[in-house]
Amino acid sequence: AMCPYELEIIGFKRWSEFKTKFPHGKVPVLYNFDEEGHDLAQETAITQFLARKLGLAGKTDEQEAFLNMLYQQLWCTFRNNGVTHDGE
């Protein structure tokens, strides 16, 4: 989507310095997502926000729901090292 971004890697040693600054003390974080100084945390929330903002979330509510389903399935599979909730 040709969306410029900056990647900041915090690392374990600096984590305590940043943890209290992030929503719910979690990463990843999309800084200033609303251009009013607020940060957005949690992978799914960030992915859905960016997909909608960049026109990649589908053209209808039904397409968006289908894409969200695919994303969630992939995310759960990757998070579980390729093992689905069905144990496959």
Distance CA(10)–CA(17), nearest Å, equals 9
Tens digit of each residue's pLDDT (9 = 90 or more) over 6-49 = 898 888 898 888 888 888 888 899 999 999 999 999 988 999 99
Both tokens of residue 13?
Answer: 């040693």
pTM: 0.76
Q: Is there a contact between 26 and 19 (Cβ–Cβ < 8 Å)? A: no
**DSSP per-residue codes, the chain:** -----------TTTHHHHHTTSGGG-S-EETTTTSSS--EESHHHHHHHHHHHTT-S-SSHHHHHHHHHHHHHHHHHHHTTT--TT--
Query: Is the model more confident about 45 or about 79?
Result: 45
Checking if the pLDDT of 65 tops 60, the result is: yes
pLDDT value at residue 53: 93
The mean pLDDT value for 61-68 works out to 95
pLDDT value at residue 76: 81
